[in-house]
Amino acid sequence: MKRIVFATFGSLGDLHPYIAIALELKRLGHRPLLATTDIHREAVDSAGVEFAPMRPHAAQLGDPAELVRRLLHPVRGPEYLMRELVMPHVRGAYQDLDQACAGADLLVTHPLAFAGRLIAEKRGIAWRSTVLAPLSLMSAIDPPLLGVAPWLFWIRKLGVAPYRAAFAAAKRIAGGWEQPLRALRADLGLRPMRTYAQFEGQYSPGGNLALFSSVLAEPRADWPANTTLCGFSRYDGKPAAATLMAELAAYLGAGSAPIVFTLGSSVSMHASDFFATAIEAARRLGHRALLVTGQDPAQFDAIIDSTRMPAGAIKVVRYVPYSAVFPHAAAIVHQGGVGTLAQALAAGRPQLIAPVAFDQPDNARRAARLGLARTIDFRRLTSGAMTSALRELLSSPGYGTRATAVARMVAAEEQAHSAAALLARVE
């Protein structure tokens, strides 16, 4: 029986894969612990996984809506993430995670859990790294679509050299944001790193787990050494209340399959007019719609009433597990976060993806390449554009056929047990 500590930071999409693996490790008789911000304490506790707080805490992060607004800025978001959300708290994260690792046999880190490498070096415990989306691997052979520089993707036809040069320039810029981490290493008596923590420095020499499906990306020669492609590790949060599930069952059974609209756990706090646009698109299509908003459903009553659609055609809920509704959708509209995308691909339904930032544009591109999705940049998502794209998805059977085929491939890789088995074998 091993004590295995997971360290992560971010949204639910950055939490759920580790809960999935932790639950599988518990089934195998091991003792997992998940260290993360106290924002996620309830989610971890409700899953039955041991929790340890790791800074930054909610009180240190400020207003969530303002945080998300700044984080999703198309250009300055990554710098804000590193300079103001991660690096100022790296010493506190180190102290918290070091305490959580007492007696640990293995430490497993998320790409933003930078304190993990320092603890592994200082304590001499086994360490494995993970990535959740292809973007994190920064392959020049299979280059990502970067939201901050989408034009860069199109120079790939010139070969890998331009992308490698662009990555080198990005590393020099982003590397300057890591001074607090370098100072902490020095204070701990650890040797300076020759690489940047946001890039090569995040990968464990002992092994790196890619927690996404091969349908998004196949292994490449320039992936980090000892990277194993494990497939999605899907977990869908705590079950919804029985009364809500009964209401949903009644709604789903009362008519044609609805279009499901959602923005995940973070982008929903910066939804702008997305859900009003969704309601208008449903009206134009004359189609039922289910909105999973992360917001008070009552605030949409007036908009729904103004559509003059049949009573009950549009249903709004704050939260429901995606696995309970995605398989029943005519199509799924979402932001392209890898956690949401994993559930949508597993459901086997056509998708319209409106990416905002970080890995989302690249995830959306990869889904569209599979022939099961359309994409529209979130900032260009008008009701007309959404209506047109959905009309094509709903009227062209090829999207559904390809979505069903991809769902079979995703299911064949399932899922957390692959990663759990690899971790359980680490000595």
198: CATH: 3.40.50.2000
Least-confidence region, from 52-61, 221-230, 413-422 = 413-422
Least-confidence region, from 3-17, 173-187, 238-252, 371-385 = 238-252
Q: Is the pLDDT of residue 180 over 80?
A: yes
- Split at pLDDT 50, 70, 90, the class of 283 is very high
What element of type H or E holds 245?
Answer: helix 242-253
Whether residue 198 sits in one domain with residue 252: no
Q: How far apart are CA 111 and CA 92, in angstroms?
A: 17
Number of domains, the chain: 2
Whether residue 191 sits in one domain with residue 120: yes
Whether residue 376 sits in one domain with residue 365: yes
What would the mean pLDDT of 389-417 be, rounded to a whole number?
93
Q: Is the pLDDT of residue 73 over 90?
A: no
Note if the bond before 397 is cis, omega within 30 degrees: no
What pTM was computed for the model? 0.94
Whether residue 312 sits in one domain with residue 302: yes
Whether residue 281 sits in one domain with residue 147: no
Spatial strand order in the sheet of 106-109: 50-53, 31-36, 3-7, 106-109, 126-131, 208-210, 227-229
Whether residue 280 sits in one domain with residue 231: no
What would the mean pLDDT of 151-177 be, rounded to a whole number?
81
Whether residue 335 sits in one domain with residue 280: yes
Q: What domain range includes position 121? A: 3-235+414-424
Whether residue 222 sits in one domain with residue 254: no
Whether residue 318 sits in one domain with residue 354: yes
Whether residue 283 sits in one domain with residue 203: no
pLDDT digits over 27-42, tens only? 999 999 999 999 999 9
- Split at pLDDT 50, 70, 90, the class of 414 is low
pLDDT digits over 224-264, tens only? 999 999 999 999 888 888 999 999 999 999 999 999 999 98
Contact present, 265 and 11 (Cβ < 8 Å): yes
Mean pLDDT of the chain: 93
What would the mean pLDDT of 192-218 be, rounded to a whole number?
95
Q: What is the pLDDT of residue 212?
A: 96
Looking at the chain, how many residues does it have?
Answer: 427
% of the chain beyond a pLDDT of 70? 100
Whether residue 264 sits in one domain with residue 206: no
Name the range with the highest mean pLDDT among 65-74, 80-89, 265-274.
80-89
Contact present, 215 and 407 (Cβ < 8 Å): no
Q: How far apart are CA 270 and CA 255, in angstroms?
A: 31
Instruction: Name residue, tokens 């998805």.
Output: 393
Whether residue 48 sits in one domain with residue 31: yes
Q: What is the pLDDT of residue 363?
A: 97
